[in-house]
Amino acid sequence: MPKVPNTPKNTGRCFCLKCPTFLQSDCPKEKQEILYCAKGKSSCDLEEKGCLCGACPVHEEYNLDGGYFCFRGAAE
């Protein structure tokens, strides 16, 4: 079971939509990818352009380690 629940509350607080890595391409928006710490890594071909995970309230609430969940996959 993932450490972060995929809930509407967490989706609403997620910073993925503001992240420079997310914003570099239309692919994640078109596929409606968000909340990578709960759902897993992106299916899009992205480059690391910066990570906001550490500033995200979901990251703080669940005491997550690291970032770039869009590359690493869901938090465990």
Cα–Cα distance between 42 and 25 in angstroms, integer?
12
Label residue 6 by pLDDT band (50, 70, 90).
Answer: very high
Label residue 9 by pLDDT band (50, 70, 90).
Answer: very high
Task: Say what the pTM is.
Answer: 0.91
- Judge whether 64 and 53 are in contact, CB under 8 Å: yes
pLDDT of 2 > 90? The answer is no
Domain ranges of the chain: 8-72
Per-residue pLDDT of 67-76, as tens digits, reads 999 999 999 9
Q: What pLDDT, on a 0 to 100 scale, did the predictor assign at position 18?
A: 95
